[in-house]
Amino acid sequence: MMKKLVLTGAAGRLGSYLREPLSKMCQELVSTDIVDDIGKLYEGESYAKADVAVYDQIAPLLEGADMVVHFGAIVDEKPFEELLGPNFVGSYNVWEAAYQHGLQRVVYASSIHAVGMHKKSDFIGIDAPHKPDTFYGLAKCFSEDLASMYWDKRGLEAVCLRILSCAQVNNTRALGSWLSYDDLIQLVTRAIDTPSVGFSVVYGVSNNDRAPVDNAKASFLGYRPKDNAEQFAEKILAEAPPVDLKDPGQMHHGGPFAAVDLGESGVASMNIVNDKKTT
C-alpha cells in the first residue's frame, strides 16, 4: 500500500468519483482543488485548497508523496489566455513539483481532444500523432510532451489517460466514446498499481462495441474495461437526429470539439446535461 497520494481537481466531476477509491489505495490521500471545501472526507483523506497554476501553492502538497493523480484543470474549451494558467502552467507545476519532491509517477487526465482532428473512421492507436481540436486539446498535447520529457530526462514516470467522454450516454458519439465511472476507476487503479510504466498513454474508454480507438499497445497496463454503451444503443439511435455528413463534429474523434471555433465556449457541458451525479 502506498504511503501518500495527491489528487488534484478533487472537486471536479471526475475527481469527486476518484476520491474514495484512491483513499483506499494509500495511507494518506491529499485532495486539492480551488474550492474552499469538498464536503465529507473519506478515511485517510485530507483536503487542501490550492491553485495548480501557482507553483508555491501546489508544490508543497506533493512532499513525501509517491504519486500524484493530476485531474485539476479547466474542463472546457476557452480562449487560450484563460487556459494558459491552469491547463498549461498547471501541468508544468505538477511535473516540476513531482520531480523536486522525488515522486515516482504522475497519473494525468489527458483527453481524446489531443488527437481530436483524426477522422473517426481511423482506428487510432496510442501512438497517433497529436492533432488537437481546441486550445483545450492543445494543453493536453503540451502536457503529454512534457510528461515524455520528464521521463526521458529525469526518470519521472507518467501515465496519460486520454479520456474520451466520461458522462451520461445521450448521443450517438457516446455509444463509442463512453467511459463509465467504474471503468474510470479501474483505469486509474491500473495506472497506479502497474509496477513500472515509463511514459505511457492509454485511452480512457469503456468496452463499447463501437469504441473507435485502439489500446492494444498499452496492453501491459492490464486495463480491461467492463461496461458497454451498446446497452443504450437502441434508444439513442432511434432518437438521433439526421446525420449531417459535412459536420466536422460527425466525422472526427473530437466530436463537437472538432466543430467549435477555437476558444469558443465549448460543448463539454452539453455532454453532461442530465447527469444526475452532482458533486
Residues noted as catalytic: 136
For a second copy, which is the closer residue by CB, 10 or 114?
114
CB of 192 to a second copy, least distance (A): 10
Four-CA torsion 229, 234, 237, 239, nearest 10 degrees: -120
Q: How many CB atoms lie within 10 A of CB 56?
A: 10
Closest distance to a second copy from the beta carbon of 161 (Å): 15
Nearer to a second copy, 47 or 88 (CB): 88
Q: In what order do the strands lie in the sheet with 67-70?
A: 45-49, 26-33, 2-8, 67-70, 105-111, 157-163, 199-204
CA-to-CA distance for 134 and 115, rounded, in angstroms?
10
Nearer to a second copy, 207 or 279 (CB): 207
Task: Using the minimum distance from each CB to a second copy, give the nearer residue, 245 or 276.
Answer: 245
- We find the least distance from the C-beta atom of residue 248 to a second copy, in angstroms, to be 8
The C-alpha atoms of residue 203 and residue 116 are separated, in whole angstroms, by 12
Give the cell for residue 4. 501518500
Minimum Å gap between C-beta 170 and a second copy is 14
Cβ-count burial 119-149 (b if 16+ within 10 Å, e if not)? ebeeebebebebbbbbbbbbbbbbbbebbee
- Rounded CA gap, 139 and 12, in Å? 18
